[in-house]
A and B are shown apart, each in its own frame.
Chain A
């Protein structure tokens, strides 16, 4: 009953705090929408300068969606490259093709190289392979690939901040002291917080997942229920971790200081960046990052259509994290009341 009373109080406070509600529910949607717009823009047409190229080659380049400008001499083409008009200059140096790349943007460079190599080899007689996809499709954009990670991350980030600040406020306003001067048990305080916040995190997780999939059209191959469950578990971990860390902060600013220490490093290990490219010992760090497990499962469900048996390890690990953080919370409360 005390747990319920505490949960109801938290819900009432939330409902009266419109701004925080907006942060919790609208901010993730806004950011996801922006991300979608930024990363799903139209593909850029590479600008290629052709210096005295045979007409057939120019045609092939244009067929491959390149914007080709012809130049009579190498100098004027190179000047255009310097001026930033061109991405690459293609010329024939004694019968051998030579490519000079602008080179300041690696992703652009790769795209141009790929296109040039494709058109060069297109002349050779070769059997065109049959292309099929195990997961995803030809239309899959990079947003589809890291969208699942972002869904998890936003749930984690906003809940972490809110939980941390709310619990801190309970302490600094003196209400925690008053709360602990009633016969409430320490575990009841933690469970009350979990259930009060839990309701909002559940709603938030559902809203973010629905918005990303149905409105933004994020690639989705698995069960929405599994996505919701993973998202909720991630939020619970953020909730317990946020309240735990707030015991070590003495004001709101110090909660913010935890963000670069606790939240940002998790982003690097969440799968937004390729983990295989990291040094092995660094890769091992990911095993202590809740976001790694959440993102791994979310991506598995949404992109590869994984089911329960594939993600259950992630589920258990996240439940474990939450349980440990909650337990440490109960212990940390001892600082405020001897029993």
Chain B
């Protein structure tokens, strides 16, 4: 786990400053600021409905903030060209079920500007990372839930992004598969990929280098899992989450 202290480094991969997002009269995100450093696994931890996905959408530039600013790799978001620089996996698998895995990969690969032998090579690599290389020509409809999740991950790896943004990557996945996905994520991190993910599973959050705790649209705590546990005086993240979520330090 990362031991460095992450305080306002000069070149964060993601720089969110005082971001606010409202839907109608409801404030979904309230004055959130956080930075993600190069090469770290950053987890956003919070119950469903807390605003995690909205924050992810603001970071990716799919949605636009009502106040504050979001920078990714030094560029102000939203910006179309930046969509080439990160890989995104949404909560739903979002696959074309009637097509084969290969056709899905070819389609999204083309959208990222990959073609010919380069595309085939990238498809091969991405599918071997998620261990699906033997099922390339099966239609997605014949895939199991876990296989779909892995294919979905492979799709977001196709264009070798330096930043990977994953919304609940392991939700609804059995423990064995979850472990293998985490294995893949830490391999990627070793190769220098920055990873941002959301989760509401505590033991998963423990594996992140740093965590941001979100509750009701507010960032209640940010830091390494150890630091968060220590500062809240709790033995587990779950306790820490309750302490922060309960408004003691919010």
Chain A positions within 8 Å of B, measured between CB atoms, are: 1-2, 4-6, 8-9, 12-13, 16-17, 173-175, 177-185, 336-339
Contact = CB atoms under 8 A, between A and B. Distances in A.
Contact of B107 (A5, A173, A181, A185): A5
A182 B111 contact: yes
B62 A337 contact: yes
Nearest to B62: A337
A177 B53 CA distance: 12
B111 A2 contact: yes
22 contacts: A1-B110, A5-B107, A6-B111, A12-B99, A174-B92, A177-B90, A177-B94, A178-B90, A178-B94, A180-B62, A181-B62, A181-B83, A181-B90, A182-B84, A182-B111, A183-B112, A183-B113, A336-B62, A337-B62, A338-B63, A339-B61, A339-B79
B182 interface: no
A12 B62 contact: no
Contact of A181 (B60, B115, B139): B60
Interface in B167-221: none
A178 B110 contact: no
B84 A183 contact: yes
Contacts of B62: 177, 180-181, 336-338
Contacts of B106: 5
Interface in B84-137: 84, 88, 90-99, 103, 106-108, 110-113, 115
Contacts of B103: 9, 12
B51 interface: no
Contact of A338 (B78, B108, B115, B139): B78
A336 B90 CA distance: 14
B111 A179 contact: yes
A175 B91 CA distance: 11
Contacts of A17: 98
B111 A183 contact: yes
B52 interface: no
| Secondary structure class of chain B's binding surface, majority of residues | loop
B94 A173 contact: yes
Given A182-B108, A183-B84, A338 B61 contact: yes
A182 B99 contact: no
Interface string B43-85: 0000000000000000011111000000000000011110110
Given A16-B98, A173-B92, A177-B90, A183 B110 contact: no
A178 B113 contact: no
Given A184-B111, A339-B80, A9 B99 contact: yes
Contact of B98 (A1, A13, A183): A13
B146 to A, nearest CB: 17
Contact of B80 (A4, A13, A183): A183
Most chain-A Cβ atoms within 10 A of its Cβ — which of B88, B93, B94, B155? B94
A13 B81 CA distance: 28
Nearest to A177: B90
A183 B158 CA distance: 14
A12 B139 CA distance: 12
Contacts of B92: 173-174, 177
Contacts of A185: 80
Interface string B146-162: 00000000010000000
